[in-house]
Amino acid sequence: MSEKKILTATEQPDTGSALKKSLEMTSADVVFEVRESEIRGRGGAGFPTGIKWNLAGAASGSNKMVICNADEGEPGTFKDRYLIENYALKLLEGMTIAGYAIGSSHGIIYLRAEYPYLIPIIEKAREDLIRENLLGENILGKDFNFDIEIRPGAGAYVCGEETSLIESLEGKRGVPRNKPPYPVNSGYLFRPTVVNNVETFAAVPHIILNGAEWFQDLGIGDCTGTKLFSISGDIENPGVYELPMGSTIGELLEAAGAKDVQAVQVGGASGATITADELERSLSFDDLPPGGSVIVFNSSRDLMDVLENFLEFFVHESCGQCTTCREGNVRLLDAVHLIRNGEISSMEELEPFFQLAEVMKIGSKCGLGQTSPNCFIDIVTRFIDLPDGKGGA
């Protein structure tokens, strides 16, 4: 059994060593190793990365693409920025390994518009790798070419959704596509495309060097490895923390110095809002899906302010394709105003809004509209005291 070392965020492996090891394996073996590690995408949805790479590798079509999703638009999330600032080399190496694994020679980093200061950092890492023959043509003397370009986003949250991101990269308005076809079969310019989050790619060199079993041992069940969390709000030490998958939210809060906790939002504005009685719940895809953002609210906060703020965000960021999302978020925001003005005073009067929230979840095309009602349901049912005495914590 491997030693339980946590390396994913806190170490830069010897640059090029994982790529060198990968190039001594067949591309199928690289995919197999990633698949065996059972790593699930770190961008939020948690899709198994090895399966994605396998599908893209097997897809028919030339000019396959590797795209790094560095859009990081979820409120409260800054872990990808941290990784790029400190570990750009291993991000680019992870993308290059993906290129070898699926048979691609071209990578793109779709970088959040608000992160222009990261461009020189990525450019420098790219130049260093080219100088070391770890990127570019005939990498390490093998018949394998791969290069990476940076493309800045345009500041829209929905462009973090992978098909919307692809539309944006193609120079079109950034709105989600219908799926299928999935990007692994028909993505950027209709080519087979792998889209992965920054943290997912950055974990790959560690998996290749230490092996799938090592990665599995770090986590719990089918939630393997460690995870980065951006924690902010009412805490003493906001920042980026790395914990094994399956850790409790209480462990993370203790590390970050949270006191007088009223509520914790896990997974961003569209994630779950839990009470201080639920700190034993686990950060895993089976319980609290660990998107990356954790925001702590102490007892001085009015959670209706928080809810209003998040719903205004969703109203603003909805791309407008689906009526359920475009109109639904406006209606949920109306409900917040009605509660605040005392025009809704019972859970019974809120029932149509809860029904609307369910329709939004099933009737919306992408994750934005499918998950934006979460904050409304959680905050209204757990934290708000209505005059009729029902609802609220």
For binding to ligand FMN (CB under 6 A), which residues are involved? 41-45, 47, 49, 69, 71-74, 157-158, 160-162, 195-197, 200, 366-368
Q: Would strands 293-298 and 226-233 be described as parallel, antiparallel, or unpaired? A: parallel
Residues 9 and 239: their CA atoms lie apart, in Å, by: 13
Closest contact distance (angstroms) between CB of 181 and ligand SF4 is 16
Smallest distance from ligand FMN to CB 201, Å: 8
Comparing CB distances to ligand FMN, the nearer of 48 and 392 is 48
The whole-angstrom separation of Cα 376 and Cα 275 is: 14
Contacting residue, 97, 122, 139, 158, with ligand SF4 by CB under 6 A: 158
Q: Which does 322 bind (CB under 5 to 8 A by kind): ligand SF4, ligand FMN, none?
A: ligand SF4
CB of 73 to ligand FMN, least distance (A): 5
Write b or e for each residue in 326-347: b if 16 or more Cβ atoms lie within 10 A of its Cβ, otherwise e.
Answer: eebbebbbebbeebeeeebeeb
Phi, psi of 109 (to 5 degrees): -105, 115
Rounded CA-CA distance 78/231 in Å is 9
Per CB under 6 A, which of residues 272..331 are in contact with ligand SF4?
318-322, 325-326
Partner in contact with 155, chosen from ligand FMN, ligand SF4, none, beta carbon below 5 to 8 Å by kind: none
Q: Kindly state the number of chain residues that form the binding site for ligand SF4, as judged by CB under 6 A.
A: 14
Whether 276 contacts 260, CB under 8 Å: no
* Position 116 contacts ligand SF4 (CB under 6 A): no
Verify binding: residue 374, ligand SF4, rule CB under 6 A.
no
Cα separation, 315 vs 301, whole angstroms:
22
Residue 368: φ, ψ to 5°: -60, -60
* Cβ-based nearer residue to ligand SF4, 175 or 184: 175
List of residues contacting ligand SF4 (CB under 6 A): 158, 176, 318-322, 325-326, 364-366, 368-369
